[in-house]
A and B are shown apart, each in its own frame.
Chain A
Amino acid sequence: MDDFTLPELKLPGDIPKIACGSMAHSQPYSAAPDHQEALGFPGELVEDWHDKAIAKFGEILDRQRALKVYMDACVKCGACTDKCHYFLGTGDPKNMPVARQDLMRKIYRRYFTFAGKWFPWLVGAKDLTRDVLDEWYSYFHQCSQCRRCSVYCPYGIDTAEFSMAAREIMDHIGMGQKYCNEIIGKVHDIGNNLGLPQKALGATLEDLEEDIEEETGVAVRLPLDVQGADILLITPSADFFAEPHVDGLIGYAKVFHQAGVSWTISSKASEAANFAMFIGSHDQMGKIAERIRDAALELGVKRIIVGECGHAWRVAYNFWDTLVGPFDFLDPGYPIPQHICEFTYDLIEKGELNFDKSANDHMTLTFHDSCNVARASRMGDEPGGQFKIPRAVVKACCNNFVEMDADTIHENTFCCGGGGGLLTDDLIELRAKGASPRMGAFEQVAQDHGVTHMVAICAICKTQFSKIMPMYGYEMDNIVGVHQLVSNALILDGQITTEEEETVDG
């Protein structure tokens, strides 16, 4: 691991002093030529990168209103300066949202505005040099596209739009990032981010079926590629084997079983994640989404349900229909697409699920809102359903629940520190420091209210915290998933209860 010191955990609201250049060294590994070319990007930095970059920049400005407006609208009021978790965790002023945007805005001004062409010194316009490009590579890979800044900006300026555009420009001149581009390649080649082939996936699901039956005495199925199933489950591939994700997958399976619905996973589209969003490529995002539409058509399903994954839900909820819709072959009687929490919540509301809340009594829980669910999408019929519904599911499954500080939940939530395509070990220092605002809020409720576990609703959050929590003195399994709690507490029809088990063993 790299040599760095963790920041001292602070209470919500504490702001660090600025430390210029403290994260200038943080850069992710570059994508290998093979991975670049597989996505149609140049293998390495092209000779005429300057002109190509400016041309691409202009092209994006002309096709994306958000970027165009946000380049002009910022008044440097400072509202966002203390809102980014990476700034709060590192003190590097270029991690203040406005300063991160300005890395791009100064180039915009120079090449695309009258003021920047004639009075560059007045408006901070700069030429695009190799140094600027390196700074882009560094700091646009220190934005997790969590959109917390956009909540507080008086004009709604969203730094995610900047970092997506910057990454797209860099991809097009041969400066891609290894983690994202390699993963996108795997989705195209094999069907999921982890490169898990169909056979292995089938075997994994069978093992899980055995585990569940052993534990509960009920034959809960995890079907793969079942033609004519009603529901297609699209879930992040981490759910197939990573901890604690897999316990959530068991939870979904138990809920489907108890609801008596027919469902299936697809080996062709065995991945909900769509990392193309992180690199700002609408082309790639459409291609990845297309697999899911194709799988749904081939299997002849009537509904699509999306598992616990933050950015995947944003893409599914907001972008699928625009990119690869219409999904008019699905049953319009259900939300298209539907979140697994919405599905479970509906059953709870109808009283169709029975829980033994005491199964989660060994934990006192708090809920970590995932950014892409909280600030970029919705669940249910009302604004804010994305806060209410997962909490309602959690509370139905446990007796001990405490909220974290109000400035760190709902749309004010802090990113886990690993979102936006940064969940890679070459950025571990950034991830550890960027998690500190969330960990500070967690520590506060841990000390004041005896909270032991944090519940998340996103595969990236779960992976990030199981890595980061031990650094801050907690256990890696202090992070749990919503449907992991459901799995613990749900009483299946015909399930062997603990007392019965004791009698049998007795």
Chain B
Amino acid sequence: MTAAYAILLYAGALILVLGLAVKIKQYASTPAPLKIPTTPAPTTTGGVVLRMAREVFLFQSLFRANKWIWLFGWMFHAALVLILARHLRYFTEPVWDWVALIQPFGIYAGFAFVAGLAGLWVRRIVVERIRYITGPSDHLMLAILMGIAASGLAMKFVAPTDIVAMKAFILGLLYFDWQPMPGDPAVLVHLALVALLMIVFPFSKLLHAPGVFFSPTRNQADNPRDVRYAPGE
């Protein structure tokens, strides 16, 4: 079991990293032949960085579009960041101070994560327009994330797993010195779904994460009369 999961997680990590690298290289090497920022847009590079930061951290455009989607989407993503940060304690020895500090918030984030996802999922079913544009892969993605959250919370609150052994297993993976994996069902589900998520990432809509940085309507400065734009030359 340990070997199977070790291989699965290695494969997942490898596909995630290589797949993203290939995609990012494609995006970066495809020319942007014309200036197409959605205006009003910043006129300087510094302004563009700020605009992008507002999009990435605050979801500015989504906020303007729809408060409910923004609320659920932002809650889910912010919680994800906290949860990932909290999980660093399994990857570091000794645990970094700031990681130790945010542990309790990571727990609350688990619930916010589920609430955000649930809100988005309910909208997919209840709102006619969003139901129309929702396909099987959209439900699948929510199901994977929800499964990861549920199994994770189960390990914490329902059937606590041996986290000391868990940490030994993960550090073992990092240092190529495999240690036995705790065999609780929640652990098996949690890690299998995480591996699956890593595998589908570069082939799915999760590419919005690198994609947003390459969006010409958002990352171009509005300065065509001041700086000649000649990408081909």
Partner of B137, one of A99, A124, A377: A124
A114–B133 Cα gap in the complex (Å)?
21
Q: Is A350's CB within 8 Å of the partner chain B? A: no
| Cβ of A362 to closest chain B Cβ, rounded Å | 33
A61–B73 Cα gap in the complex (Å)?
29
Which chain A residue has the least Cβ–Cβ distance from B72? A77
Which A55-73 residues have a C-beta within 8 angstroms of B? 61-66, 68-70, 72-73
| Cβ of A93 to closest chain B Cβ, rounded Å | 5
In the bound complex, residues from chain B placing their C-beta under 8 Å from that of A68 are: 26-27, 30
On whether the beta carbons of B217 and A114 are closer than 8 Å, the reply is no
In the bound complex, residues from chain A placing their C-beta under 8 Å from that of B32 are: 64-66
User: Given the known A-B contacts A64-B31, A96-B132, A123-B135, are A76 and B215 also in contact in the complex, defined by CB atoms under 8 Å?
Assistant: no
Q: Is B84's CB within 8 Å of the partner chain A? A: no
On whether the beta carbons of B30 and A156 are closer than 8 Å, the reply is no
Partner of B129, one of A82, A122, A152, A318: A82
User: Given the known A-B contacts A74-B208, A83-B65, are A322 and B35 also in contact in the complex, defined by CB atoms under 8 Å?
Assistant: yes
In the bound complex, residues from chain B placing their C-beta under 8 Å from that of A161 are: 36
Which B12-64 residues have a C-beta within 8 angstroms of A? 23, 26-27, 30-36, 38-43, 55, 59, 61-62, 64
In the bound complex, residues from chain A placing their C-beta under 8 Å from that of B129 are: 15, 18, 78, 81-82, 93, 96
On whether the beta carbons of A122 and B137 are closer than 8 Å, the reply is yes
| Cβ of A352 to closest chain B Cβ, rounded Å | 23
In the bound complex, residues from chain A placing their C-beta under 8 Å from that of B43 are: 382-383
Which A179-234 residues have a C-beta within 8 angstroms of B? none
Inter-chain contact total with CB atoms closer than 8 Å: 202
Partner of B212, one of A82, A154, A411: A154
User: Given the known A-B contacts A66-B32, A68-B30, A155-B211, are A76 and B69 also in contact in the complex, defined by CB atoms under 8 Å?
Assistant: no
Q: Is B130's CB within 8 Å of the partner chain A? A: yes
User: Given the known A-B contacts A65-B30, A81-B130, A325-B228, are A76 and B205 also in contact in the complex, defined by CB atoms under 8 Å?
Assistant: yes
User: Given the known A-B contacts A76-B138, A156-B61, A322-B33, are A66 and B215 also in contact in the complex, defined by CB atoms under 8 Å?
Assistant: yes
On whether the beta carbons of B39 and A376 are closer than 8 Å, the reply is yes
Q: Is A4's CB within 8 Å of the partner chain B? A: no
In the bound complex, residues from chain B placing their C-beta under 8 Å from that of A72 are: 23, 205, 207-208, 211
On whether the beta carbons of B138 and A79 are closer than 8 Å, the reply is no
Chain B 122-154 per-residue mask, 1 if CB under 8 angstroms from chain A, else 0: 010001111011111110100000000000000
**Which stretch in B87-95, B104-112, B186-194, B218-226 binds the other chain?**
B218-226
A366–B137 Cα gap in the complex (Å)?
46
Q: Is A147's CB within 8 Å of the partner chain B? A: yes
> Which residue among B61, B130, B136, B140 has the maximum number of chain A CB atoms within 10 Å of its CB?
B61
Q: Is A7's CB within 8 Å of the partner chain B? A: no
> Which residue among A151, A326, A374 has the maximum number of chain B CB atoms within 10 Å of its CB?
A151
Q: Is A375's CB within 8 Å of the partner chain B? A: yes
A65–B219 Cα gap in the complex (Å)?
12
Contact-residue size bin, chain B (C-beta under 8 Å from the other chain) = 35 or more
In the bound complex, residues from chain B placing their C-beta under 8 Å from that of A252 are: none
Which B181-233 residues have a C-beta within 8 angstroms of A? 203-205, 207-208, 211-212, 214-218, 222, 224-225, 228-231
A382–B138 Cα gap in the complex (Å)?
40
Partner of B225, one of A17, A336, A384: A336
On whether the beta carbons of B230 and A322 are closer than 8 Å, the reply is yes
A65–B30 Cα gap in the complex (Å)?
5
Q: Is A321's CB within 8 Å of the partner chain B? A: yes
A95–B130 Cα gap in the complex (Å)?
13
Partner of B215, one of A73, A336, A378, A386: A73
Which chain A residue has the least Cβ–Cβ distance from B130? A78
| Cβ of A41 to closest chain B Cβ, rounded Å | 20
Which chain A residue has the least Cβ–Cβ distance from B59? A154
Chain A 351-379 per-residue mask, 1 if CB under 8 angstroms from chain B, else 0: 00000000000000000000000111110
Which chain B residue has the least Cβ–Cβ distance from A119? B137
In the bound complex, residues from chain B placing their C-beta under 8 Å from that of A121 are: 136
| Cβ of A62 to closest chain B Cβ, rounded Å | 6
Contact-residue size bin, chain A (C-beta under 8 Å from the other chain) = 35 or more
Which chain B residue has the least Cβ–Cβ distance from A154? B62
On whether the beta carbons of B38 and A78 are closer than 8 Å, the reply is no
A317–B207 Cα gap in the complex (Å)?
32
On whether the beta carbons of B27 and A69 are closer than 8 Å, the reply is yes
Which chain B residue has the least Cβ–Cβ distance from A123? B137
On whether the beta carbons of A69 and B214 are closer than 8 Å, the reply is yes
In the bound complex, residues from chain A placing their C-beta under 8 Å from that of B228 are: 321-322, 325-326
| Cβ of B65 to closest chain A Cβ, rounded Å | 3
| Cβ of B208 to closest chain A Cβ, rounded Å | 4
In the bound complex, residues from chain B placing their C-beta under 8 Å from that of A98 are: 133
| Cβ of B227 to closest chain A Cβ, rounded Å | 9
A68–B23 Cα gap in the complex (Å)?
10
| Cβ of B7 to closest chain A Cβ, rounded Å | 21
Q: Is A12's CB within 8 Å of the partner chain B? A: no
A319–B41 Cα gap in the complex (Å)?
16
Chain B 62-96 per-residue mask, 1 if CB under 8 angstroms from chain A, else 0: 10111001000100000000000000000000000
On whether the beta carbons of B66 and A73 are closer than 8 Å, the reply is no
On whether the beta carbons of B40 and A386 are closer than 8 Å, the reply is yes
Which chain B residue has the least Cβ–Cβ distance from A318? B35
On whether the beta carbons of B69 and A79 are closer than 8 Å, the reply is yes
In the bound complex, residues from chain B placing their C-beta under 8 Å from that of A77 are: 62, 69, 73, 120
A282–B35 Cα gap in the complex (Å)?
13
In the bound complex, residues from chain A placing their C-beta under 8 Å from that of B229 are: 321-322
Closest 7 CB pairs of A and B: A73-B211, A152-B65, A156-B217, A79-B65, A383-B40, A78-B130, A156-B218
Q: List 30 A-B contacts (CB under 8 A).
A: A18-B129, A18-B132, A63-B30, A65-B27, A66-B216, A68-B27, A69-B211, A69-B215, A70-B215, A72-B205, A75-B138, A76-B134, A76-B205, A77-B69, A80-B65, A93-B132, A96-B129, A98-B133, A114-B203, A154-B61, A155-B211, A155-B218, A156-B38, A157-B217, A158-B36, A322-B230, A375-B38, A383-B41, A384-B40, A411-B39
Given contacts A64-B31, A73-B208, 20 further A-B contacts (CB under 8 A): A18-B128, A63-B31, A64-B32, A65-B30, A66-B36, A68-B27, A76-B133, A78-B66, A78-B127, A81-B133, A96-B132, A153-B65, A156-B217, A157-B217, A318-B34, A318-B35, A325-B230, A382-B43, A386-B39, A387-B40
Which A residues have a C-beta under 8 Å from some C-beta of B? 15, 17-18, 61-66, 68-70, 72-83, 93, 96, 98-99, 102, 113-115, 121-124, 147, 150-158, 161, 282, 317-319, 321-323, 325-326, 335-337, 374-378, 382-384, 386-387, 411
